[in-house]
Amino acid sequence: MNRRRILEGGAIGITGAAVAARLWPRAGLPRRQQESVVAILRCDDYATCHKAVEDGLRLLAPSVRGKRVLLKPNLVEYSTKATINTHPSVIAATADSLFRLGASEVVVADGPGHVRDSEMLIDESGLKRSLSEVGRIQFVDLNFDAVHRVTPRGGFTSFRELWLPETVLAADVVISMPKIKTHHWAGVTLSLKNLFGCIPGNVYGWPKNVLHWEGIDNSVAELAATIPIHYVIADGIVAMEGNGPLHGPSRHLGCLVFSNDPVAADATCCRLMGIEPSRVGHLQMTAPLGNASSDRITQLGEPVGALRQSFVLMPEFRHIAEP
C-alpha cells in the first residue's frame, strides 16, 4: 500500500458520514426514513438454493401480489473459468417463488456490458434452460429494449437525460440480483453497481464507457437515485474475490442475502466480505438513500459474524478492507 492509499483509506474511514452528506448533491431527493430489513440465509450449494430462496422471501415478505416483477441479475459474459454471473438456479428459484407469492408477471432482464449477444450468454450460462423449466418467464435484453427519456435525479453526473429501458420503467417491483464480487474499478459490485446493466447498449454502446468517463461511483449513485430498487437478492453462494468482475477466483461464501433496501444489502454484503462499506465510494454517495449502518438494519437469518470472511482485494482497493 502506498502513502496515497493510506491517506485515502484513513480519511475515508474517519469522515465517511460527513463526506456522504457533502456529496449528496440534490437536496430534494427523499432520504430513507424507515429502518431496513436484511436476511442472510445460509446455503452451501446451488442444488439446494430453492429452499433458501423460499425461506428468504418468506422472511422478507415482499409485496408482489398481482404485480409485474422485474428480476435484474448480473450477467456480464460467460466463462467456463470463472463464476461471473448470478447463478441461473437462484434466478429461476426466485421467479418460481414469486409466482407462488402471487406475482402476475416475472420478467428477467439485463443488458450485459461486454457482450451484444445475450442469446449466446443466456444459452451457454444455462439461464435459458433454467427459465424454461419454470415457464412463463420472459427474458428481455435491455440493451435493445425500447427506451424512454428520464431526467436523472441524483445530480452526481453531467447527464441531463438518461435513456432507460421501457421494461425497467414499466415494472411495478424491481429486484436487483447481483453476484457478490469484488471489482477492480469500483471496489465491489453488488445490487447498486448492478444497475449498470439497465443502461441500454443500443444507446450508450459497449462496454458502456460513458458511465466510466463520468466516474463509476458517480454513475452508480446517479442510477441508484433514478431507478428504484425495491428488493435485493444477492447470490453469495459462490462469490468472487480479487480481480473481479471477470477474472477473480471463486470464493465460497455459502449464503444468499435478501433485503428491502439496496444500500443495506450492499453494506451487509461488504461486511460479509470483510470490507468496510463506508470506504466504498459509491456506498458513501448513496448512503442517504438507505441504511448502511447496522444500527438501522433489522438483521434476520444468520448474523453477519457467522459467515464473515476476508476477501482478497486488488492492491488498489486494500484500503476498503475492515480494520
Partner 1 sequence: MLLDRACPEGGWNAGNSEVFGVALDPHPDFTAMALLALRGVLDRNEAIIAKSLDYLSIRLKNSDSLYSLAWGVLALAAWNRRGSDDLIQRLRVRLTTIDPSLVPVRTLALAVIACEPPSFLKSGGQQ
The three grid cell numbers given for residue 245, joined into one nine-digit string: 468482475
Footprint on residues 24-63 left by partner 1 (CB under 8 A): none
By CB under 8 A, tell whether 146 contacts partner 1.
Answer: no
Residue 21 neighbours by CB distance under 10 Å: 12
Nearest distance from residue 218's CB to partner 1, in Å? 20
Stretch that binds partner 1, among 108-116, 214-222, 256-264, 271-279 (CB under 8 A): 108-116
By CB under 8 A, tell whether 203 contacts partner 1.
Answer: no
By CB under 8 A, tell whether 123 contacts partner 1.
Answer: yes
CB contact set of 162 (below 8 Å; sequence gap of 6+): 149, 150, 151, 152, 199, 222, 223, 226
Q: Cα(183)–Cα(245) distance, rounded to whole angstroms?
A: 5
- The answer to whether residues 286 and 215 touch, using CB atoms and an 8 Å cutoff, is no
Footprint on residues 283-322 left by partner 1 (CB under 8 A): 314
Q: Whose Cβ is closer to partner 1: residue 59's or residue 314's?
A: 314
The three grid cell numbers given for residue 125, joined into one nine-digit string: 450460462
Among 18, 119, 170, 252, binds partner 1 (CB under 8 A): 119
By CB under 8 A, tell whether 115 contacts partner 1.
Answer: yes
Q: Whose Cβ is closer to partner 1: residue 199's or residue 297's?
A: 199
Q: Whose Cβ is closer to partner 1: residue 243's or residue 294's?
A: 243
By CB under 8 A, tell whether 104 contacts partner 1.
Answer: no
Stretch that binds partner 1, among 59-67, 169-177, 243-251, 261-269 (CB under 8 A): 243-251
Per-residue contact string for residues 150-189; x = within reach of partner 1 by CB under 8 A: ----------------------------------x-----
Say what angle helices 127-134 and 88-100 make with each other, to 10 degrees.
20
Type of residue found at 181: K
By CB under 8 A, tell whether 243 contacts partner 1.
Answer: yes
Q: What angle do CA 188, 193, 197 make, to 5 degrees?
A: 135
Closest C-alpha to 89, from 170, 179, 200, 158: 179
By CB under 8 A, tell whether 120 contacts partner 1.
Answer: yes
Nearest distance from residue 211's CB to partner 1, in Å? 13
Say what angle helices 88-100 and 49-60 make with each other, to 10 degrees.
50
Q: Cα(239)–Cα(83) distance, rounded to whole angstroms?
A: 7
By CB under 8 A, tell whether 246 contacts partner 1.
Answer: yes
Nearest distance from residue 216's CB to partner 1, in Å? 13
Measured on CA atoms in the order 315, 209, 164, 156, is the torsion positive or negative? positive
Nearest distance from residue 141's CB to partner 1, in Å? 8
In our burial notation (b when 16+ CB lie closer than 10 A, e otherwise), range 129-143 reads ebbeebeebebbbbb
By CB under 8 A, tell whether 207 contacts partner 1.
Answer: yes
Query: 174 — phi, psi (to 5°)?
Result: -110, 125
Stretch that binds partner 1, among 9-17, 148-156, 189-197, 239-247 (CB under 8 A): 239-247
Binding residues for partner 1, rule: CB under 8 A, are 77, 79, 114-117, 119-120, 123-124, 141, 144, 184, 206-207, 209, 243, 246-247, 314
